[in-house]
Structure 1
Amino acid sequence: MVMEIQNPNPLSVTSEIETLAKTVYFQLDANTLVEQTLTRKLGEVSDTGALCIQTGKFTGRSPKDKFIVKDDFTRDTIDWGEVNIPISTATFERLLEKMSLHIKDKEVWVRHCYAGADPNFQMNVTVINTSPWANLFCHHLFLRPSQTDLKSYLQEWVILQVPEFLADPETDGTRQENFTVVDFTKKMILIGGSAYTGEMKKGIFSVLNFLLPHVHKVLPMHCSANEGLDGDLALFFGLSGTGKTTLSADANRKLIGDDEHGWAENVVFNFEGGCYAKCIDLSAQKEPQIFAAIKHPTILENVCFYSNTNEVDYANASLTENTRAAYPIYHIDNAKEISIGEIPKNIFFLTCDAFGVLPPISKLTTGQAMYHFLSGYTAKVAGTEVGINEPQSTFSACFGRVFLPAHPTKYAELLGKKLEAHPEVNVWLVNTGWTAGAYGTGKRISLRYTRAMVEAALNGKLTGQTYQTHPTFGVLIPQACPNVPTEVLNPRSTWQDKIAYDLQAQKLAHLFVKNFEQYKDAASAAIKNASPKTSTVSI
């Protein structure tokens, strides 16, 4: 049933929006939001029942157009620079006024929701959208309060998303027409010029990344999490393309969450109520759980159909490589009903090393864990020119640098304190990239072997193994692993030319050291001592 109200509870929306909007649709159910999207011809339905929409010009986040209001509260607490770009209070207020006037006599959709599955750390979030499908996205991705919860709901943070409003860079202080502006004092996020829904999700993640460590000493984490039958929790960190979703999706383990979590003193909890999965090249064979989750009322963003059908062509990247599926977490059959777990038993840092240097699995000390957490390394193939096979290193601190308002070392040190307080936690570095050579000459590590190594770590079958220290990176390489050939475990043994491997290892080590220069002055001695050993080498 559609609830149309001209004057909703003043705690649910700002008074200006409440007064100016033609109609306010408040807390609509998913079925109604799908119906409204179709009625307004803003989307189509796939053969599996998913709602397919297009986000227009922007099919991904625009980090260079995200700003934080610099005021007395944030002046000395935000790590200002290329990631956290300051903007004035006056600019924020001008944009808010213009956006409010822009929606005069228009429809808006309002939703109360929250972030943080642990009641001790929940943050109420009210979203105001100008399309029903954007509000449906918030229904899926944020946590959904019960009817009882709504009766006592108090507005805390507000997201105002108006993609149709375009800023004037000359007068509005933005870089271009699109923008995301976070104001920690007013507890508001303004999003204009972009309909990409991920801006809302990651906007709140950035807010939590700032508030949770400062207020509660909770470590916010850009990772997935699952839980074994005995309640043993595993965390999977990794940048795009490293296998985070693939390896954390395990039919034998309960899904806690797929992207954002907090580690409090005694628990790990999901920030979200859903999943936002990349679905380029998706298939039932490769990702059966995600494939099965794409049903009514899942949202599919920027996908294409096979000609003259409503069957999705997941291999079609003509609109974007960043095709996405947004669905509530209960679409995953083995998702845990209350997405909270105990202290993790195993942590996996996933990297796709196209240099062919890092071991397929290795164990890290606490210092090494902080170092690799700060580094956030993966690699990708450079360019598309014929004959160019040289890999490019990619570093993103804490596996999510663009979402960190504070200096990255603050998060690394907080991780270190967690690990020191819980020495039973195992931290593993897992290379899902190349072996027997770099990209172009070597081969991709078998997913079957990677799964076997992760399973062995989860089941404690690597605990009693003998380990060998990597001469350059100092990580501990197990000498044996069930269902994995011994020669696969040590990357140097897979290279035919051992000298070439040593040179490649030094090349990668130098890249790590060069990247770490930006953190060296603020890093602790334990982190610095975990740096790889470098020697003079032509790179």
Structure 2
Amino acid sequence: MLDGTGISPFFAVHANLAASELAAIALERQEGVLSEDGALAVYTGVHTGRSAKDKFIVDEPEVRKDVWWTDTNQKMAPQNFQRLTDTVRGYLSGQELFTQDLYAGADPAHRIKVRVVTTNAWHALFARNMFIRPPVEELADFTPDYVVLHAPDLELDAATFAIRSATAVTLSFGQKLIVIAGTQYAGEIKKSIFTVMNWLLPAKGVLPMHCSANVDGKGNSALFFGLSGTGKTTLSSDRHRPLIGDDEHGWSDEGVFNFEGGCYAKVIRLNKDAEPDIWNASHRFGVVLENVTVKSGGKLDLDDASRTENTRSCYPTHFIPNAVENGRGGKPLHVLMLTADAFGVLPPVAKLTPEQAMYHFLSGYTARIAGTEKGLGNAPEATFSACFGAPFLPRPPALYGSLLRERLARGNVSCWLVNTGWTGGVYGQGQRMSLKHTRAILSAVLGDKLNDAEFEQEPFFGLSVPKAVDGVPANLLNPVNAWADKNAYAEQADKLVQLFAKNAQSFEADVSADIMKAAVGKKQ
């Protein structure tokens, strides 16, 4: 149960307990409270999101030249990592432990075996919900490919390990080991394994993706790329299209496969009528709720953001009624890149050429607004995250971009930009795109109802905008028509173009000129 971990336990080790057992122990240990529906609600303390500035990759000779070294892929010297692992192993040896043996990757040809070792029952339940649970008969001779040593309550001495704070999320690709200490936020476990898959799969010709995915009645996949807050989880949860997964996938020669066996949905201000599947999945036994307020009597207050805007629900994918049982789908026919543009500039939907798709994939744009993150003022702030997942890319973004271009070229794939943000004005003046209209757009795209549509080109980004979409007011489709002040629109549009251009300098040297030209409209 602890083979390959380097831990010599002095106390009990609970291996591969079922969800019911883990929930019961978590309650007994007062790790959380139970909602009236049976969900386990926990509080993650000061860390209510990822500690991006505390993430490290060990600077090992065999991987050094291939790692994309950034401020979220910081170098850790091997000797400091050895000191860290010795400290964490010693700490874990003196604790009651919970282990889970799990898979990452629904396609057996591309999966890895993961052993998670943690000190909390609820973190073990999170991992069990989040990853793929092997059949019992496959656990007897389970040998992990990667080990996660998870010490959430261990605060580190920064000087001892040459790190920034008391927290460290550290990956060693050479030793196939992940060490997490000093943070209760369970998303660190999930995203560390995602980083591993992003490291391993490109060498096999598989594109790892930060996206959600669902399928049509014939098994053809649709992919939804997007950063947090763009609607990736919400829009892929569609009762008419079975869900493959809500966050992390691979695209191989055979099709699309989920990396995970669970969902990790944001639930702040979750509305039962707008998102019934996620609502129902979050109100049942076996769920882990992070930082959600539980009122007297066990009633959930999903509108309470006093702890964080980043409240989360972690549940197995099969809690969604029409989820694909094996986590796999056919080759994609549609790729949708979601953005929440708070400048009110981008159209609600635009068809992308392959070159434009590459540009927007490498840009990974959305906007942040006041109320969603600490430290933001009243004006929207553009944010760019390469491949819609820069913090989880251990290799240079252009590598993943090249894989996407190859995949698009091999199949008859339509690519679309979908803006779920603002129209008619910037945030605070315009209106948020209605979910009803966005779903109407998706219905048209995924139902191939726009194949013969008439398009017009907006002048700033050169995007092809349909003149009509059933269920969507015509004045919303071309964003300039939704603005009363056309000069103000042009000013904001030009501002956003310049922000894109500045960000594109980070990848311009790594892509062909046709990709850079594809992003420029007639106004430029």
TM-score (norm: length of structure 2)? 0.96
What residue is the counterpart of 1:397 in the other structure?
Answer: 386
Cα separation, 1, equivalents of 2:218 and 2:70:
44
1:239-259 deviations in Å (ceiling 9; x for gaps)? 111111221111111010000
Cα separation, 2, equivalents of 1:383 and 1:250:
28
Query: Is 1:35 equivalent to 2:35 in the alignment?
Result: no
What residue is the counterpart of 1:286 in the other structure?
Answer: 274
1:456-501 deviations in Å (ceiling 9; x for gaps)? 0110100011111221111111111112222221111222222332
What residue is the counterpart of 2:155 in the other structure?
Answer: 166
Asked if the contact 1:301–1:323 (Cα under 8 Å) also holds between the matched residues in 2, the reply is: yes
Query: Is 1:74 equivalent to 2:74 in the alignment?
Result: no
What residue is the counterpart of 1:144 in the other structure?
Answer: 133
Cα separation, 1, equivalents of 2:293 and 2:136:
37
Asked if the contact 1:20–1:100 (Cα under 8 Å) also holds between the matched residues in 2, the reply is: no
What residue is the counterpart of 1:529 in the other structure?
Answer: 517
Query: Is 1:369 equivalent to 2:380 in the alignment?
Result: no
What residue is the counterpart of 1:482 in the other structure?
Answer: 470
Asked if the contact 2:462–2:522 (Cα under 8 Å) also holds between the matched residues in 1, the reply is: no
Cα separation, 2, equivalents of 1:135 and 1:311:
24
Cα separation, 2, equivalents of 1:396 and 1:316:
28
Asked if the contact 2:460–2:523 (Cα under 8 Å) also holds between the matched residues in 1, the reply is: no
2:290 maps to which of 281, 295, 301: 301
Where 1:154 maps in the other structure, the secondary structure is: coil
Asked if the contact 1:509–1:533 (Cα under 8 Å) also holds between the matched residues in 2, the reply is: no
Query: Is 1:493 equivalent to 2:491 in the alignment?
Result: no
Query: Is 1:344 equivalent to 2:344 in the alignment?
Result: no
2:301 maps to which of 297, 302, 313: 313
Asked if the contact 2:50–2:188 (Cα under 8 Å) also holds between the matched residues in 1, the reply is: yes
* CA RMSD of superposed structures (Å): 1.7
- Whichever residue aligns with residue 304 of structure 1, its letter is T
Where 1:430 maps in the other structure, the secondary structure is: strand
Any residues of structure 2 matched to 1:119-268 within 5 Å, and which?
119-214=108-203, 216-268=204-256
Q: CA deviation at 1:108?
A: 0.7
Query: Is 1:324 equivalent to 2:337 in the alignment?
Result: no
Asked if the contact 1:21–1:103 (Cα under 8 Å) also holds between the matched residues in 2, the reply is: no
Asked if the contact 2:213–2:244 (Cα under 8 Å) also holds between the matched residues in 1, the reply is: yes
Where 1:276 maps in the other structure, the secondary structure is: strand
1:57-97 deviations in Å (ceiling 9; x for gaps)? 21111011010001112110001121210001111111111
Cα separation, 1, equivalents of 2:499 and 2:56:
30
Deviates more, 1:221-230 or 1:521-530: 521-530
Asked if the contact 1:513–1:532 (Cα under 8 Å) also holds between the matched residues in 2, the reply is: no
Cα separation, 2, equivalents of 1:126 and 1:397:
29
Q: CA deviation at 1:279?
A: 1.0
- Whichever residue aligns with residue 372 of structure 1, its letter is H
Asked if the contact 2:458–2:521 (Cα under 8 Å) also holds between the matched residues in 1, the reply is: no
1:413 maps to which of 395, 402, 421: 402
What residue is the counterpart of 1:438 in the other structure?
Answer: 426
- Whichever residue aligns with residue 153 of structure 2, its letter is E
> What 5-or-longer segments of structure 2 have no aligned partner?
none
Cα separation, 1, equivalents of 2:136 and 2:324:
21
Between Structure 1 and Structure 2, how many residues are aligned? 520
Where 2:64 maps in the other structure, the secondary structure is: coil
Cα separation, 2, equivalents of 1:506 and 1:382:
22
Q: List 4+ stretches of structure 1 deviating above 6 A.
A: none
TM-score (norm: length of structure 1)? 0.94
Deviates more, 1:497-506 or 1:409-418: 497-506
- Whichever residue aligns with residue 477 of structure 2, its letter is L
What residue is the counterpart of 1:44 in the other structure?
Answer: 33
Asked if the contact 1:20–1:101 (Cα under 8 Å) also holds between the matched residues in 2, the reply is: no
Q: Provide closer, same or farther for how the CA distance between residues 171 and 434 of structure 1 changes in structure 2, counting only shifts above 3 A.
A: same
> What 5-or-longer segments of structure 1 have no aligned partner?
1-7
Cα separation, 2, equivalents of 1:481 and 1:162:
52
Q: CA deviation at 1:535?
A: 6.2
- Whichever residue aligns with residue 421 of structure 1, its letter is R
Where 2:310 maps in the other structure, the secondary structure is: coil
1:184-243 deviations in Å (ceiling 9; x for gaps)? 0110000001111100000000111111012x1111100101111122211111111111
